[in-house]
């Protein structure tokens, strides 16, 4: 467990939670990224406008962090380009079919005591664990 | 009467946008600070049989603690500050779409170590692996949209 970083994880998690609370209290919206992104593609007008603004905020966070912080943002790719395409397709298709992802179901849905969000969170966690076990330990894929 | 209403909605447009942008930045910073923008960190959590990194439990724990302790208070209000109503999911029952969708998402998450929030946030680094993933993710969303119609 040499990579374990509980303090930064907890602080980062609290930021995410606070963002979701501000979004709900201010604009009455659930800060679920797949829903916001999916809606930014399929909706028009004001519905599209706020979604693009929120997504721009995510991108802006990276730029602000890079300006302010001395430590770079580490991104270690975990799969070959071919597998990343498959992963992306599954994440895009699956989150829209299942009406949410880690943020909408995991962070927001659980706080609303939504049965659907509990079930979805258990499902994607379980299948995440199984997939990594299969790819890393049975098939020995990975970078 | 209508002019008052128009003025109100006009005045709240700035606040509405400011809240949205601020929330987005805060959300992105949370993902960066927690390390969730790094697929290696996410796979480190999902790899129970490997060199397990439990950090993601603390990210979820921190987030859920904040939302669970405050959402009920927020939702006691009649409406949000800068909107006419709360926009909440209306479905209550489990169905095949929900469970299959979440399973497919889990498989993709396990392969790439990226979910939508971190992927979009990390897109601004222009890392080629993230650009490729996000392109495929958007295509997956469009495909789901087409299938649903």
pLDDT, tens digit (0-9, with 9 covering 90-100), for A4-17 = 999 999 999 999 99
Q: In the predicted model, what is the mean pLDDT of chain B?
A: 92
Residue B120 confidence (pLDDT) above 80: yes
Q: Looking at residue B3, what is its pLDDT?
A: 41
Q: Do A11 and B141 touch (CB under 8 A)?
A: no
Q: How far apart are the first and last CA of chain A?
A: 20
Instruction: Using the structure block, give the residue that is written with the tokens 């809240």.
Output: B19
Element holding B93 (H helix, E strand): none
Chain B closest CA to A83's CA: distance in Å?
A: 7
- What's the average model confidence in pLDDT over B41-55? 96
Calculate the CA B93 to chain-centre distance: 21
What local confidence, expressed as pLDDT, does residue B61 receive? 97
Of B97 and A2, the structure prediction assigns the larger pLDDT to B97
From the list B53, B94, B106, the residue facing A115 with the nearest CB is B94
B87-123 exposure pattern, b = at least 16 Cβ within 10 A, e = fewer:
eebeeeeeeeebbebbbbbbbbbbbbbbbbbbbbbbb
CB contact under 8 A, B112 and A15: no
Whether B6 has a pLDDT exceeding 50, the answer reads no
Report the C-alpha gap between A19 and B76 in whole angstroms: 19
Tell how far CA A63 is from the center of its chain.
18
pLDDT exceeds cutoff 90 at B37: yes
- Do A96 and B144 count as a contact with CB atoms less than 8 A apart? yes
Average pLDDT estimate for A112-134: 97
Residues B10-30, mean pLDDT to the nearest whole number: 91
User: Residue B22 pLDDT more than 90?
Assistant: yes
Which pLDDT score is estimated for A142? 62
CA gyration radius, chain A: 17
The residue of chain A nearest to residue B60, with distances taken between CA atoms, is A13
Does B114 sit within 8 Å of A60, measured CB to CB? Answer: no
Query: A140 pLDDT band (50/70/90 cuts)?
Result: confident
Whether B135 shows a pLDDT value over 60: the answer reads yes
- pLDDT band (50, 70, 90) for residue A1: low
| List of chain B residues whose C-beta atoms are within 8 Å of the C-beta of residue A87 | 108-109, 111-112, 114, 133, 136
Residue whose pair of structure tokens reads 């706080």 in the numeric block: A111
Q: What angle do CA B126, B64, B29 make, to 5 degrees?
A: 25
Report chain A's mean pLDDT, rounded to a whole number.
95
pLDDT band at A104 (very low <50, low <70, confident <90, very high): very high
Q: Answer yes or no: do B30 and A12 touch at CB < 8 A.
A: yes
Pairwise CB contact (< 8 Å): B110 & A13: no
pLDDT of B57 strictly over 50: yes
Closest-CA residue of B relative to A132 is: B110
Contact residues, chain A, for B101 at CB < 8 Å: 93-99, 120
Is A98 in contact with B104 (Cβ distance < 8 A)? yes
The verdict on a CB contact (< 8 Å) between A90 and B108 is yes
In angstroms, what is the C-alpha Rg of chain B? 19
Cα A89 from Cα A54, distance rounded (Å): 22
DSSP symbols for A2-40: TT--HHHHHHHHHHHHHHHHHHHHHH-----HHHHHHHH
B132/chain A closest Cα distance in angstroms: 7
pLDDT category of residue A143 using cuts at 50, 70 and 90: low
Q: Which residues are CB-contacts of A75 (< 8 A; sequence separation ≥ 6)?
A: B37, B38, B39, B40, B122, B125, B127, B129, B130
On chain A, the residues whose CB falls within 8 A of the CB of B39 are 75-78
> What pLDDT score does B8 carry?
46
Asked whether B82 and B16 are in contact (CB, 8 A), the reply is yes
pLDDT for res A3:
83
Greater model confidence, A38 or B2? A38
pLDDT given at position A111: 95
The confidence score (pLDDT) of residue B10 equals 45
Longest dimension (CA), chain B: 65
What is the model's pTM? 0.94
CB A79 within 8 A of CB B45: no
Tokens of B26: 């805060």
Instruction: Give the model's pLDDT for residue A108.
Output: 96
Q: Residue B149: its pLDDT value, please?
A: 78
């Amino acid at each position: 467990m040499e990579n374990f970083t509980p303090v930064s994880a907890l602080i980062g998690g609290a930021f995410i939670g606070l963002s979701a609370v501000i979004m709900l209290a201010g604009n009455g919206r659930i800060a679920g990224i797949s829903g916001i992104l999916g809606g930014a593609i399929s909706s028009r007008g004001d519905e599209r406008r706020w979604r693009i603004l929120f997504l721009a905020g995510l991108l802006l966070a990276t730029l602000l962090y890079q300006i302010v912080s001395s430590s770079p943002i580490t991104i270690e790719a975990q799969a070959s380009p071919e597998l990343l395409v498959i992963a992306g397709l599954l994440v895009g298709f699956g989150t829209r079919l299942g009406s949410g992802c880690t943020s909408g179901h995991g962070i927001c849905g659980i706080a609303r005591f939504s049965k659907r969000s509990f079930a979805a969170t258990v499902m994607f966690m379980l299948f995440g664990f199984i997939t990594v076990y299969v790819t890393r330990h049975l098939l020995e894929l990975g970078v | 009467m209508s002019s008052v209403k128009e003025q109100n909605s006009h005045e709240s447009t700035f606040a509405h946008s400011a809240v949205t942008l601020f929330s987005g930045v805060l959300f992105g910073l949370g993902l960066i600070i927690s390390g969730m923008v790094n697929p290696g960190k996410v796979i480190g959590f999902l790899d129970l049989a490997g060199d397990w990194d439990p950090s993601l439990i603390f990210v979820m724990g921190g987030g859920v603690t904040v939302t669970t302790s405050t959402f009920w208070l927020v939702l006691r209000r009649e409406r949000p500050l800068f909107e006419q109503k709360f926009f909440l999911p209306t479905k209550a029952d489990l169905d095949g779409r929900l469970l299959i969708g979440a399973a497919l998402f889990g498989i993709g998450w396990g392969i790439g170590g990226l979910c939508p929030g971190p992927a979009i946030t990390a897109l601004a680094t222009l890392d080629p692996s993230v650009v490729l993933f996000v392109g495929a993710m958007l295509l997956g969303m469009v495909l789901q949209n087409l299938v649903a119609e």
